[in-house]
Structure 1
Amino acid sequence: MKMRKLLAPVLGLSLMLPAAGAFAAEGTSADYNPELQTRAIQFNMDSKMYMVNGMSMMMPMKPVVYMGTTYVPLRYLAANANMKTWYDPMTSTTWLDTGLARYEFWTKGANAKVYKVDNMRKALNDPIISMNGHTLVPVRWFADNFEWNMMYSNGMITLSKTY
């Protein structure tokens, strides 16, 4: 008789245990989250072509090495990182809006090694430069500031980030 009374609860629990294990495992890793996406941007040092998640795109100039630092036009980094840029020719100011903060850059004189984030001044190790009408930023600065992974191999710069 006692055995019969225990049978229903034991059976019920045993049926729930596999489901509980699956529920606990769900969402514990980025591998199981379909909403997370990785974006990869690749620049070849010898080409105006670059790739975003395997799709070829063009920019008007190749990446540039200046004083040992690799630079890429800010507009192409920003556009592929869901950010917006604009330029004010009257003040030689480039703006970058990340959606969370607003950056301000200058390419002339001593200001080239200074930028602002929401009106707070910050220093740069390498200057922001202007070339052929484009504002160029150090790729390493972009990766570090916006938490992108950066890898350099055989003339190929790869930036990646999982959202």
Structure 2
Amino acid sequence: MKMRKLIAPVLGLSLLLPAAGAFAAEGTTADYNPELKTRAIQFNMGSKMYMVNGKSMSMSIMPVEYMGTTYVPLRYLANNANMKVSYDKATSTTWLDTGIQRYEFWVNSKVYKVDNMRKGMNDMVISRNGHVLVPVRWFADNFEWDLMYDKGMITLTKTY
């Protein structure tokens, strides 16, 4: 008799368990997409070495801090973020082409253009040893990269 009283609840629960498992799995699989890729670019203050997705690379200039703002070399950052940089020495103009928009910068200026529309930034673009450097915070905010600072390490990450 006791066995019969247990059969109905056990049978009922056993029918619900697969549905609960499928429901839980649905929540996790919706968050996981094997086609998405994360790119991580890391710069070290005081170093000409940087990393892209764990691969060590070198550059001819290092990130700097100037007037309380952290700057990174635009060319190395852009090339590893699937963007193109060009420079016109005659006009001292730097262009950044994202594939969707074109940015125009001038050294020692807080003004820049996006597709010929004038905009402003909190900190100016600077130049060191012939390289254009941009505020890393500006880059992260404008191009939707996650930014983290940790003991002189600047990490930018983005999932595509």
| TM-score (norm. length: structure 1) | 0.81
Amino acid across the alignment from 2:30 = T
Q: Deviations over 1:95-135 (max 9, x none)?
A: 00001100000014xxx110000000001110001111111
Which residue of 142, 146, 153 corresponds with 1:145? 142
Match of 1:77, SS state, is: helix
Residue equivalent to 1:42 = 42
Residue equivalent to 1:119 = 116
Amino acid across the alignment from 1:68 = G
Q: State the distance in 1 between where 2:84 and 2:159 align.
A: 19
Pairing 1:93-112 to 2, within 5 Å after superposition? 93-108=93-108, 112=109
Q: State the distance in 1 between where 2:45 and 2:64 align.
A: 7
Q: Which runs of 5+ in 2 are unaligned?
A: 1-14
Q: State the distance in 1 between where 2:106 and 2:46 align.
A: 27
Residue equivalent to 2:5 = none
Match of 1:103, SS state, is: strand
**Displacement of 1:28:** 1.3
Q: State the distance in 1 between where 2:29 and 2:115 align.
A: 35
Q: Deviations over 1:128-151 (max 9, x none)?
A: 011111111000000000000000
Q: State the distance in 2 between where 1:74 and 1:142 align.
A: 9
Q: Deviations over 1:67-107 (max 9, x none)?
A: 01011110011001000000000110000000110000001
Q: Which runs of 5+ in 1 are unaligned?
A: 1-13
Tell me whether 1:129 sits opposite 2:126 in the alignment. yes
Match of 1:141, SS state, is: helix
Residue equivalent to 1:83 = 83
Residue equivalent to 2:55 = 55
Pairing 1:63-74 to 2, within 5 Å after superposition? 63-74=63-74
**Displacement of 1:162:** 0.4
How many equivalent residue pairs?
Answer: 140
Q: State the distance in 1 between where 2:46 and 2:114 align.
A: 32
* Equivalent residues of 2:61, 2:131 under 8 A apart: no
- List structure 1 runs of 4+ shifted beyond 4 angstroms: none
Q: Deviations over 1:28-58 (max 9, x none)?
A: 11x2x11100000011102100000000000
